[in-house]
Structure 1
């Protein structure tokens, strides 16, 4: 188990991006959240098996997202175990 923190850059607010991310994360069995940030980015935090987190990052970069993703910057850390479900913030 790991924790993913991914900063998604591009036109990702106001286009259903957080909802889309939540749906993909739930399909993968991940917990966490997707949050709009004041600078226009979306922060995605998720916990689960590393391979499933990598799959989510691939989907974020995959070109099938709502809006337009220009860049995804991700990091992996130890899980904190403080997340329940997957929510939009």
Structure 2
């Protein structure tokens, strides 16, 4: 992390991941990636079969998480990642699964 990254305001990434992403270790591996990147937030299965990720932290770390979500390294088979960006709220103390 550069000094500029530390000074930049935290951002929020909200991503909905569709495909074969439940019961394949997707939440656990996303948790591990987010913790490695120093992010806070939550990852949870949705009733429609998708996975929702809400992550807060530095822009570069969030971009890296988004790249990973779209990569073959992510478990299962990702069909699409719908992402949106906003200001961080600071509501999360750590990154967890729900």
Q: What TM-score does the superposition give when structure 2 sets the normalisation length?
A: 0.89
Cα deviation, residue 66, structure 1: 1.2
1:47 paired to 2:47: no
2: distance between equivalents of 1:85 and 1:79? 13
Aligned counterpart, 1:36? 45
Structure 1 vs Structure 2 CA RMSD? 0.5
Greater than 3 Å deviation, 4+ residue runs? none
The answer to whether residue 68 in structure 2 is matched with residue 59 in structure 1 is yes
Q: What runs of 5+ residues in structure 1 fail to find an aligned partner? A: none
CA–CA separation in structure 2 for the residues paired with 1:65 and 1:53: 15
Aligned residue number for residue 18 of structure 1: 27
Specify the structure having the higher radius of gyration (Cα): 2
| Count of aligned residue pairs for this structure pair | 89
